[in-house]
Structure 1
């Protein structure tokens, strides 16, 4: 260590130098503050205010991050909401157009125009639901990198290896007995050689129309009441009351914990609903579970027990476990109509037949006895002096009107039900669209891989809004997700697609006097089918009070947008307060710093002058 020598007067010189350097450093600091506008270049330079500054800067950074997320989310949700509002408007317009068209169903162009418009609207739905914002497909849930919906052509016509909606509708119509021979909705109305006419549902397996008990549980007309305005002349008698077949459930292999089985259940009105049951090694207390048994047969029995008194119509699952539903017994409903040999029928007597459809509705056939007929109205039959001949005429009229109703009302019902099944399907094997089992009857127990899956997005979350969220504050995130397979959207799609898939063989006006009898009959049939179809589609497109519609989905997104906008405003106010705090800690007052800088400059200049003068002072100069 070197010790510098001490000389007289050196202390004052050192002290002056240190003061000059300190003043110079202060001058440099003030100059830097004036040029940057900041109090210090490091948090340490803020002194006691550094904690406040650090905290405020962190909060501002978070708010800026929220703001960036909010901007993108608002753009996305605004686009999604506007798109759905447009689809809701299209749906409402379709309903209005149908309602207007129903008053003019004889128009030669109304039916074809409706189908063409529906096809264009289906294209619009597909394009809208495949909406893309900044590389993100909005209506695919968490699957955002691929289109959410298959093309309109694939939906209607399939993709070459898998069936589309048009094929499913044709398949369902055939199963319902709306097409083909005899085309009477699976009802048997055999010719008679006696004074008695019989109408019945198909018997089991070897019965009429080759239908099975599984078919009777799922397809065709159900026989309701038959009444006569003159019971003494035409006496209806229930030959056999309907009784549902017994159903045995089983599995190809033992199910595993978590396996799901979808069961179709017939309801009191004749319609069907889906119930999904989950296999468990032991009950968890949740609803719709069944306990896995000792073997596959025991597991099937356990599932049957869990269903209780529900009237099983069909069951499907993935394979394995490969659920099976075996239908046995039951009774096909049958009613006879006997023409009296003692009390002759009167001109104008009517017979009313009520038939049930698988969508929960009914249709009524009214047959009228006449002493003369022009042969144009199939529901009119001739009274003959011979009761057997009258019965034969009645059988022909009943057969013709039932066949006509099957080709119109039942056909329309089949189309809409097939559309609902198609759009209810999903990528999971167990939830694949229901398909008719043409070999065994009823619905196929494993329909996976046979049908185009129209929705290709994510469906893993129960709440579609939760598939995409935006963090708007430290304690609040808002769901902005949407899925094309939401109930309201799916129902609208099924109605629009059902209209788009149905062609009409005749667009002629049945009131045209120049038409041949054959053309007139076809025109009347097509008009009736159009009326039945549009009436059902209108019901599908009009959500019930407690059902979700497209407008409700759009409203939910709009509410989310409003929440985000409110959070954005609140964040803005908070950021402004934090910025005021930072202005008080990090930012200098230009006027104050300028004044201090001028004072320090004057002080430093004076110090330099005094120091300069003292440095030139000698004993000679001092004495002189």
Structure 2
């Protein structure tokens, strides 16, 4: 039940005075708080109509702080990635320059060249494992897994947790070169002497091997002079027949081509001379008789075949293995199960164990050097790798993103690694008749691969440029955000901050009014009818 308090005469004035005093007291408290805190109010409700603007400004500042933190972290990663890839590109360009400067002039230089190339390869692999704040830079979207295996495992293989022996790059190169050269070291060719004045070279007799490994005969041989004759007979296998009908004159020659499994060919030319070094691969001495001359020609032919095999054929095989090896990936690929190199050799079951073809590697028998993310766009035909730059991105504004991702298995990086590996394993280690040919083949093969550092389109340097542009965009976004943050902060301060001079003036005014009110109230409280009459 509601009750109504009694109304006493004069109570309205008293209540009104009390209310006014309380209002002044509250104003005094609010101004005191503003003076001590510098804020207009401790709650958004106290900001009045400015509270909506203040809330929006706080949300904007919070977002800008988040963008700023992301930009700072991304810029560190991006700048480090630029530095790392610049180093990889420099390793490639320096190696190519060294090759073009004629490293073969001294045998010791080529031996040192191998060591330097191997060290550079190891440096490049280590560089691709660069990380920032525990986040790997070259693993695409996967920033927690080391993207590249250590150099020792890549080169020498390992044994996995299940006990499987995984072949490394060194083993794969040795297997391929051995299969290409054959037991005679001459590209799986057989040399014989049907007569005292003739010599014959026959292709690999195993049909399953021939054409896939070693040399095959191609084209039509040519001769100069009238004493030498040459022809190719048969098709499976074919044979080169070289004969003498008389003593050749100095300068007479015979030339024929040897085809390699990759479809390229090399030409062997043997030239008669009054004298020739026994190790020569190009000249044979004219002997006292046709029989002696043919013996000399046959010996030079043996040198030439072995020289062509250990130079052109072996270098081509090494370059092919290194390129194939660095396509491998433990994850991703078109099928999503990784990419297995195709260069594992298949042997037949005969005692001679002839190589008869290739099969895809397995994760249980071959080192897969790249362990990072490797997604493909399967909507294209054939499927293509997704953009590496987009695998990592940072939000720089409400509507803006900047891609900062990179992968160690980018084709241009793979080519540089393959070029360094080709140098490390194929440069000649001795000064002999084959040194120049071997070196020139390395220049052609490795030099082409190393040009991916800065000369091809695209190149490693192009990736460096992309990341540098991304870094610039991050810097520009940071500058823009800082300016925006300053503007928004000024607006917020205008709403939330209490000007000290204004607060002090108001505070003194309220204090004076409150003191006057207290004095009047105190005087009135002492007033009585007796005092009034007296």
Q: TM-score scaled to structure 1, two decimals?
A: 0.74
Q: 1:486 aligns with which of 405, 410, 431?
A: 410
- Residue number in structure 2 paired with 1:435: 344
Q: Which consecutive unaligned segments of at least 5 residues does structure 1 have? A: 241-330, 511-522
- Contact 2:427 2:439 survives alignment (8 Å): no
- Contact 1:130 1:148 survives alignment (8 Å): yes
- Contact 2:172 2:344 survives alignment (8 Å): yes
- Residue number in structure 1 paired with 2:493: 583
1:529 partnered with 2:438: yes
- Residue number in structure 1 paired with 2:395: 471
- Residue number in structure 1 paired with 2:323: 420
| Structure-2 change in CA distance of 1:391 and 1:192 (3 Å) | farther
Report Cα offsets for 1:386-437 as digits up to 9, x if no partner: 8888667655543431221101221122112111111111225672222111
Output aligned runs, 1:242-321, within 5 Å: none
CA distance in 1, matches of 2:391, 2:329: 17
**More displaced, 355-364 or 129-138?**
355-364
1:449 partnered with 2:364: yes
- Residue number in structure 2 paired with 1:223: 217
| Structure-2 change in CA distance of 1:388 and 1:587 (3 Å) | same
CA distance in 2, matches of 1:360, 1:27: 97
- Contact 1:193 1:388 survives alignment (8 Å): no
- Residue number in structure 2 paired with 1:351: 254
Report Cα offsets for 1:106-163 as digits up to 9, x if no partner: 4242122112222322332232222221111222223322322222211211114111
- Contact 1:367 1:381 survives alignment (8 Å): yes
Output aligned runs, 1:188-227, within 5 Å: 188-193=190-195, 199=201, 201-202=203-204, 207=205, 210=206, 212=208, 215-227=209-221
Report Cα offsets for 1:86-108 as digits up to 9, x if no partner: 22222222222233343xx2424
CA distance in 2, matches of 1:398, 1:347: 17
- Residue number in structure 1 paired with 2:10: 9
Cα deviation for residue 199 of structure 1 reads 4.7
Output aligned runs, 1:41-56, within 5 Å: 41-56=42-57
- Residue number in structure 2 paired with 1:134: 133
CA distance in 1, matches of 2:468, 2:27: 58
- Contact 2:326 2:418 survives alignment (8 Å): yes
SS of the residue corresponding to residue 23 of structure 2 reads helix
- Residue number in structure 2 paired with 1:515: none
Q: Which consecutive unaligned segments of at least 5 residues does structure 2 have? A: 160-164, 332-336, 349-354, 377-385
- Residue number in structure 1 paired with 2:173: 169
Cα deviation for residue 464 of structure 1 reads 1.7
CA distance in 2, matches of 1:52, 1:24: 29
- Residue number in structure 2 paired with 1:267: none
Report Cα offsets for 1:513-538 as digits up to 9, x if no partner: xxxxxxxxxx3335643453354322
- Residue number in structure 1 paired with 2:186: 184
| Structure-2 change in CA distance of 1:384 and 1:101 (3 Å) | closer
SS of the residue corresponding to residue 50 of structure 1 reads helix
- Residue number in structure 2 paired with 1:616: 526
| Structure-2 change in CA distance of 1:597 and 1:175 (3 Å) | same
CA distance in 1, matches of 2:440, 2:240: 31
| Structure-2 change in CA distance of 1:488 and 1:372 (3 Å) | closer
- Residue number in structure 2 paired with 1:313: none
Report Cα offsets for 1:563-591 as digits up to 9, x if no partner: 11111111111111211221222222222
CA distance in 2, matches of 1:446, 1:79: 34
CA distance in 2, matches of 1:445, 1:28: 83
**More displaced, 146-155 or 381-390?**
381-390
| Structure-2 change in CA distance of 1:407 and 1:19 (3 Å) | same
- Contact 2:223 2:253 survives alignment (8 Å): yes
TM-align CA RMSD: 2.9
- Residue number in structure 1 paired with 2:81: 80
CA distance in 1, matches of 2:8, 2:362: 108
- Contact 1:155 1:452 survives alignment (8 Å): yes
CA distance in 2, matches of 1:505, 1:577: 68
SS of the residue corresponding to residue 7 of structure 1 reads coil
Cα deviation for residue 350 of structure 1 reads 2.0
- Contact 1:223 1:355 survives alignment (8 Å): yes
CA distance in 2, matches of 1:458, 1:376: 52
- Contact 1:426 1:453 survives alignment (8 Å): yes
- Residue number in structure 2 paired with 1:366: 269
CA distance in 2, matches of 1:369, 1:408: 23
CA distance in 2, matches of 1:143, 1:39: 49
| Structure-2 change in CA distance of 1:369 and 1:239 (3 Å) | same
Q: TM-score scaled to structure 2, two decimals?
A: 0.85
1:409 partnered with 2:312: yes
**How many residues were matched structurally?**
506
CA distance in 1, matches of 2:220, 2:518: 124
